[in-house]
Chains A and B, each alone.
Chain A
Amino acid sequence: MEEVDSESNNKDGVSEVAPALIAVHPLRSSVAVALGSDLRVFDLLAGCAVSLVVDDSVSGAAFHKDSIRAIRFGANGKLFVSAGDDKTLNIWSPLSSSSWRCISTVSSEKRISAVAISNDGSYVCFADKFGVVWVVDISGFDTNQPLLDKRPTPLLSHYCSIITSLEFSPDDRFILSADRDFKIRVTNFPKKPLNGAHEIQSFCLGHTEFVSCLAFFQAQKYPQRLLSGSGDSTVRLWVISSGALLDTCEVATKAGLLEANGSGKAEDHGHAVTDLCTTLDGLLVAVAIQSLQGIVLLSHNVSAHTLTLAKVVSIEGEAFVPTCLGYSPSARELWMITGVSGLPGSSHPSFARIRVISGIDVEQDAVVLGDDKIPGGEKLLETLQGTASVDENAFVAAAEAVKTAMCNLLIKKQYSSENRESRKKTRNDRKLKQ
């Protein structure tokens, strides 16, 4: 019994670890980073840090008090949302280059694990830790006016599962939700979502571990095609209207992280896909995998419906395992961040490191930019990373901690049969037998 307790205590410590997140403005005017409860923004056009303003005109508005788990720009870049473990969702107006105002704060009953904004900018959806997806109507908002008291209404639910990713389809016809129970649900997004979304279009089933991320192709040409990454170390390509699986790419094996025979794969959860990014033309997909120092580029063959390995872009010189990706279509840059907050027992409990790959294009060669060549230069790095220099060991420890936290959260706990029996020993029906 004691063993079980100490184990679970240990886990609680690690599960407070939150990976660093990054989001790039769709028109590349700014870059936002979330590290723990801290939100940092840099304006690329003005070349300066953006200050975040929370004022009294919005009731209940405050900076985040606990780890931020999801950040996202709206499709046209007029909105930005952040949400996380403090059970609040902040909606920011990123119009001014010097300051962003928090125009609304929505409170949730449970911790928030994912957010999405409809492409027409009318609705914000978020998923809580109990598997319920909530919708907030933000249509007709004025960037200068705070939104009045917005309450979320429940939209749909995955029964007692953790939702890991939420996406609107490019045409806003569907809302997609992925969970730790290997499922991707495609639901018709109704005209009146405040009455709930009841009509399920399909389920995309095929992953054999938690689904960690979803991505549509940024090109409007393929509104039906969906990509998903998972703890089973694969990226899969789907047709959302039917839920049909078009292709499965064993990215970890292809990148040389796993033996091709797949032995020992079930026990080793070290190569989960953590994030996906698609390029403008829809021909390339960038994939971040745990334990891989760099990213994998997959090429998407549109007519053959396949995903094949294009190349592995390694990051030389440091243990850089990206925790989150952002893509700027106009500049063809892939923004990557690695970092962690709440790292127990370390001299640097929170830190982040940003790298950029330019030339994410079929015709060009991908180049990992040096710190001197990075857009925004030193000022950007200072704003988003902070100044503290962090040694190599901390990066390695951070990557391990992020991996453990993800496994603890999303993979079912396995108990030995003795352990299971001992947990049952206080049950009344067992007592009677003796």
Chain B
Amino acid sequence: MPETEVKSTFNKSTGLPRKRFYRARAHSNPLSDSHFPVPISPSHVDYSLHFPHFFPGSSKKIQFADIGCGFGGLLISLATLFPETLMVGMELRDKVSEYVKERILSLRVANPGQYQNVSVVRTNSMKYIPNYFEKAQLSKMFFLFPDPHFKEKNHRRRVISPFLLDEYAYVLEVGGIIYTITDVEELGDWMKSCLENHPMFEALTEKELEADPVVKLLSSATEEGQKVARNEGQTFQAVYRRIVPSDQTS
């Protein structure tokens, strides 16, 4: 294969992959049976493949998960904000996850020693979260600008739902935080009410939200968030903490 052809999907001045070669449909069917490889259990996730700078030789575990990471804007911002924390993006669309992978690899080359703590996997997080993370492994989970799925019959495709929150509560440590944001008011209300009604989550107070540096990134760091800001759109966020359920409900 000629070298130049491969290189042309990268920007000449920055060395980053060019998005136009990784365009994909905006939506992907989470209900379909795809045939990507899935680790049998969290102990089968090959960390040395994702974080060669740390593995083998480290006992670190992934602590942040960006579910539906899209083009990876948030991950890239978090990577330098929390340089010692391992984090992973999960994306269902094959091409998009390829883009994020290339983007991380180029950033690692351009900034030696940086971005070693961030990686991406192509998977259906609605089905395979327990295959990637152990109980109470994660301290933060992100759901930024997920598909709204307006039709009622498609509500079960929403990535935040009462049943799926049980699984997110399982992989989050007590005190771990779930961040959600959307520009669709209806979905914002839905995500908020799902979290509000779940016995294992409680809302962060205004003060806590202000003190958390990550909250500011929700609307500014991602490609979707920037698009909303450009169009002067509104965003709706819900940030909740994983708690131990009280005896009444358990």
Q: Could you tell me which A residues sit within 8 Å of B by CB distance?
A: 130, 132, 154, 156-157, 159-161, 181-183, 185, 187-188, 190-192, 195-200, 202-203, 205-208, 412-414, 429
Decide yes or no: A200 and B167 within 8 Å by CB, A206-B41, A412-B35, A414-B35 being known contacts: yes
In the assembled complex, B198 has its CB within 8 A of some CB on chain A: yes
Select from chain A the residue with minimum beta-carbon distance to B33. Answer: A412
In the complex, which range does the number of interface residues on chain B fall in?
Answer: 20 to 34
Decide yes or no: A200 and B249 within 8 Å by CB, A206-B41, A429-B25 being known contacts: no
Give chain A residues whose Cβ lies under 8 Å from the Cβ of B169: 198-200
Determine if B249 and A190 form an interchain contact, defined as CB atoms under 8 angstroms apart. yes
Determine if B127 and A205 form an interchain contact, defined as CB atoms under 8 angstroms apart. no
In the assembled complex, B245 has its CB within 8 A of some CB on chain A: yes
Question: In the docked arrangement, what's the CA distance between A207 and B41, Å?
Answer: 9
Give chain B residues whose Cβ lies under 8 Å from the Cβ of A161: 127
Residues in B203-240 with C-beta less than 8 Å from chain A: none
Q: For A156, give its contact among B25, B130, B163 (CB under 8 Å).
A: B163
Determine if B250 and A183 form an interchain contact, defined as CB atoms under 8 angstroms apart. no
B209 nearest CB across to chain A (Å) = 24
In the assembled complex, B109 has its CB within 8 A of some CB on chain A: no
A204 nearest CB across to chain B (Å) = 9
Closest 4 CB pairs of A and B: A157-B163, A205-B41, A200-B170, A203-B130
Residues in B27-50 with C-beta less than 8 Å from chain A: 30-31, 33, 35, 40-42
Determine if B130 and A192 form an interchain contact, defined as CB atoms under 8 angstroms apart. no
A166 nearest CB across to chain B (Å) = 16
Q: For B198, give its contact among A187, A198, A429 (CB under 8 Å).
A: A198
Q: For A198, give its contact among B35, B135, B200 (CB under 8 Å).
A: B200
A236 nearest CB across to chain B (Å) = 12
Determine if A199 and B250 form an interchain contact, defined as CB atoms under 8 angstroms apart. yes
Residues in B110-146 with C-beta less than 8 Å from chain A: 126-128, 130-131, 135
Q: Could you tell me which B residues sit within 8 Å of A by CB distance?
A: 25, 30-31, 33, 35, 40-42, 126-128, 130-131, 135, 156, 162-167, 169-170, 198-200, 245, 248-250
Q: For B40, give its contact among A157, A188, A198, A208 (CB under 8 Å).
A: A208
Decide yes or no: A199 and B245 within 8 Å by CB, A205-B40, A206-B41, A413-B33 being known contacts: yes
Select from chain A the residue with minimum beta-carbon distance to B126. Answer: A159
A-B contact pairs, 19 of them (CB 8 A): A156-B166, A157-B166, A159-B126, A159-B164, A161-B127, A181-B127, A191-B250, A198-B249, A199-B166, A199-B169, A199-B200, A199-B245, A200-B166, A200-B167, A200-B170, A203-B170, A206-B41, A207-B40, A412-B35
Select from chain A the residue with minimum beta-carbon distance to B167. Answer: A200
B33 nearest CB across to chain A (Å) = 5
Identify 10 new A-B residue pairs, CB closer than 8 A, beyond the known A185-B130, A195-B199. Answer: A156-B166, A157-B163, A159-B126, A160-B31, A198-B199, A199-B200, A203-B41, A203-B130, A205-B40, A208-B40
B99 nearest CB across to chain A (Å) = 17
Question: In the docked arrangement, what's the CA distance between A413 and B42, Å?
Answer: 25
Q: For B166, give its contact among A182, A198, A208, A414 (CB under 8 Å).
A: A198
Give chain B residues whose Cβ lies under 8 Å from the Cβ of A412: 33, 35
- Of B31, B40, B130, B162, most buried by chain A (CB within 10 Å of CB) is B130
Question: In the docked arrangement, what's the CA distance between A157 and B162, Å?
Answer: 9
Determine if B164 and A183 form an interchain contact, defined as CB atoms under 8 angstroms apart. no
Determine if A195 and B249 form an interchain contact, defined as CB atoms under 8 angstroms apart. yes
Decide yes or no: A198 and B245 within 8 Å by CB, A159-B163, A161-B127, A183-B130 being known contacts: yes
Select from chain A the residue with minimum beta-carbon distance to B135. Answer: A202
Select from chain B the residue with minimum beta-carbon distance to A199. Answer: B250
Give chain B residues whose Cβ lies under 8 Å from the Cβ of A205: 40-42, 130-131
Give chain A residues whose Cβ lies under 8 Å from the Cβ of B250: 188, 190-191, 198-199
Question: In the docked arrangement, what's the CA distance between A199 and B135, Å?
Answer: 11
Give chain B residues whose Cβ lies under 8 Å from the Cβ of A156: 163, 166
B38 nearest CB across to chain A (Å) = 8
Give chain A residues whose Cβ lies under 8 Å from the Cβ of B245: 198-199
Select from chain B the residue with minimum beta-carbon distance to A429. Answer: B25
Question: In the docked arrangement, what's the CA distance between A190 and B33, Å?
Answer: 32
Determine if B249 and A192 form an interchain contact, defined as CB atoms under 8 angstroms apart. yes
Question: In the docked arrangement, what's the CA distance between A402 and B84, Å?
Answer: 53
Determine if B200 and A159 form an interchain contact, defined as CB atoms under 8 angstroms apart. no
Give chain B residues whose Cβ lies under 8 Å from the Cβ of A181: 127-128
Give chain A residues whose Cβ lies under 8 Å from the Cβ of B42: 205
Give chain B residues whose Cβ lies under 8 Å from the Cβ of A206: 40-41
Question: In the docked arrangement, what's the CA distance between A183 and B250, Å?
Answer: 23
Question: In the docked arrangement, what's the CA distance between A363 and B27, Å?
Answer: 61
Question: In the docked arrangement, what's the CA distance between A433 and B16, Å?
Answer: 26
Question: In the docked arrangement, what's the CA distance between A176 and B219, Å?
Answer: 40
Question: In the docked arrangement, what's the CA distance between A206 and B41, Å?
Answer: 7
Question: In the docked arrangement, what's the CA distance between A412 and B127, Å?
Answer: 14
Question: In the docked arrangement, what's the CA distance between A1 and B248, Å?
Answer: 56
Give chain B residues whose Cβ lies under 8 Å from the Cβ of A154: 163
A351 nearest CB across to chain B (Å) = 33
Select from chain A the residue with minimum beta-carbon distance to B125. Answer: A159
Question: In the docked arrangement, what's the CA distance between A130 and B156, Å?
Answer: 10
Determine if B130 and A182 form an interchain contact, defined as CB atoms under 8 angstroms apart. no
B166 nearest CB across to chain A (Å) = 5
Give chain B residues whose Cβ lies under 8 Å from the Cβ of A188: 250
B155 nearest CB across to chain A (Å) = 13
Select from chain A the residue with minimum beta-carbon distance to B157. Answer: A160
B169 nearest CB across to chain A (Å) = 7
A429 nearest CB across to chain B (Å) = 6
Question: In the docked arrangement, what's the CA distance between A195 and B198, Å?
Answer: 10
Question: In the docked arrangement, what's the CA distance between A154 and B33, Å?
Answer: 24
Select from chain B the residue with minimum beta-carbon distance to A132. Answer: B163
Decide yes or no: A182 and B35 within 8 Å by CB, A190-B249, A198-B198, A198-B249 being known contacts: no
Give chain A residues whose Cβ lies under 8 Å from the Cβ of B163: 132, 154, 156-157, 159
Question: In the docked arrangement, what's the CA distance between A161 and B32, Å?
Answer: 11
Give chain A residues whose Cβ lies under 8 Å from the Cβ of B170: 200, 203
Question: In the docked arrangement, what's the CA distance between A401 and B126, Å?
Answer: 33
A269 nearest CB across to chain B (Å) = 16
B85 nearest CB across to chain A (Å) = 24
